[in-house]
Structure 1
Amino acid sequence: MTDSRWTIGDVVHDRDDDDPDPAIVVNTRDTPAEEWDLPRLDTTLAEDNPDYPSDAPVVTVLFEDTLTDSFPDWDRNAPISYPTLDDSDLRYYSFPAPRLESGEPPEATDPATETDDEATSSSRTGECETDGPADADTDAEPSTSDASQEPSETVRTLQKRLDDGGMTTTIEDDNRTIRASKLGETYRVRPGEVLDGEGPFRSRLEDIVTDVQDSN
């Protein structure tokens, strides 16, 4: 059987759609497409997709808007069962795995954070801080000499966990803070804390950063 690289929570696009909407993987099955019935079309998934391997595993998705509206508290690591999908009366879609491609948007280039200018780097360090002005407490952040240090093993571990979860990450100039993006939302995290970002992945990020901090 053809392998599937898709996991629950991945953002995908339909390769055969010229203007695809983002969809989220909510269930995967080892059942080959040739054995997956499509009752409303009175055919199998393989017969409906002759351009793809008939033994490809089945991947089931919900479009992003539908998922957000119908399952706002969904844990992106847990599949939504087919009985739950059927009972919800929502239109979900199953594809042979190779028909899908990653729908993750490329990380936006922000001139304010991409420059190597020292003044910009200093202001970025300031925005890590809390309620007061960036220069209100000169001892709040490490000195510029700390920025020359390599990221710690804990920071690298956290970055890998986020990368494995489908996020696009970069380590900021302080070598302690990670900027992570997914589905157009950007977050800033460190081991043990989420600094910025109020998108739908914040609660999951809080669990990850705490877990990494505790395990190191």
Structure 2
Amino acid sequence: MVPSEPAADLSVGDSVIDSDDDDPDEAIVIDIPAGETLEDWEYETDSGTATAADGNPNYPADAQLVVIVFRSALAETVPDWQDIEPEELVEKVDHAGIKQYGFPTGRLERIEPGAMAAEWLDGLADRFDDAGWNVTHDNTELTVEQFDEEYRITADGTVEGEGEYRTPLENIVEMERS
């Protein structure tokens, strides 16, 4: 079966989430197999073999297949995955034995890489704003400024910047993340 729609603007290596999931986890596109549809992707269930079309009844069975893996599994198993050529990524994932999932293009939403891991920064940005700090917030980091001192807080909890507020900021970040 030939796909009824192209893979939109997704590419191998893109960070995506499942737009049908209320609490999605970040995933990475590892393959967009040319000419393959949801009907072509089979997986085993307790009831037997199913297809991605069976698991996605609200999407056309002939929709373009997009293969993803969860970012956490990929980063844990293939730490240098971002340095791998896109055409080699699916092979590395296969070799590593990472569970793969078939999705229709329309169910995936591209996101900024690392954005899901940085969600905790939203609450921290509000706290600093309420405390009178100047806050600049993008998807994966905060820049906070007060009394001519500027600090950058990254999604992994690193506080960058020099000044008397660095240690208290590190303590606040540690409390926010625990």
Q: TM-score, normalised by structure 2?
A: 0.55
Alignment partner, residue 101 of structure 2: 93
Alignment partner, residue 149 of structure 2: 123
Match for 1:20 among 17, 24, 28?
24
Deviation at 1:12, TM superposition (A): 1.8
What is the RMSD of the two structures over their aligned residues, measured on CA atoms? 3.6
Change (3 A) 1:87 1:77: closer
Within 5 A, what are the aligned runs for 1:61-210?
A: 61-75=68-82, 78-79=85-86, 80-104=88-112, 105=115, 108=122, 109=125, 111=129, 112-114=133-135, 120=146, 122-124=148-150, 184=155
1:58 and 2:65 matched? yes
Change (3 A) 1:22 1:72: same
Alignment partner, residue 46 of structure 1: 53
Cα-to-partner distance string for 1:141-189 (whole Å, 9 max, x where unaligned): xxxxxxxxxxxxxxxxxxxxxxxxxxxxxxxxxxxxxx9x7xx3599xx
Structure 2 CA distance for aligned equivalents of residues 9 and 81 of structure 1: 8
Deviation at 1:77, TM superposition (A): 6.9
Q: What is the identity percentage for the equivalent residue pairs of Structure 1 and Structure 2?
A: 30
Structure 1 CA distance for aligned equivalents of residues 41 and 78 of structure 2: 25
Moved over 6 A (4+): none
1:2 and 2:16 matched? no
Deviation at 1:38, TM superposition (A): 0.7
Which ranges of structure 2 fall in alignment gaps of 5 or more residues? 137-144, 162-178
Query: Bigger relative contact order, structure 1 or 2, given CA contacts below 8 A and separation 6+?
Result: 2
| Contact 2:17–2:26 (CA under 8 A) maintained in structure 1 | yes
Structure 2 CA distance for aligned equivalents of residues 121 and 77 of structure 1: 44
Larger radius of gyration: 1
Which ranges of structure 1 fall in alignment gaps of 5 or more residues? 128-178, 188-194, 197-216
| Contact 2:30–2:67 (CA under 8 A) maintained in structure 1 | yes
DSSP-derived class of the 1:114 partner: strand
Deviation at 1:24, TM superposition (A): 1.8
Structure 2 CA distance for aligned equivalents of residues 58 and 28 of structure 1: 6
| Contact 1:8–1:77 (CA under 8 A) maintained in structure 2 | no
DSSP-derived class of the 1:65 partner: helix
| Contact 1:8–1:78 (CA under 8 A) maintained in structure 2 | no
DSSP-derived class of the 2:32 partner: strand
Deviation at 1:2, TM superposition (A): 1.8
Structure 2 CA distance for aligned equivalents of residues 68 and 113 of structure 1: 33
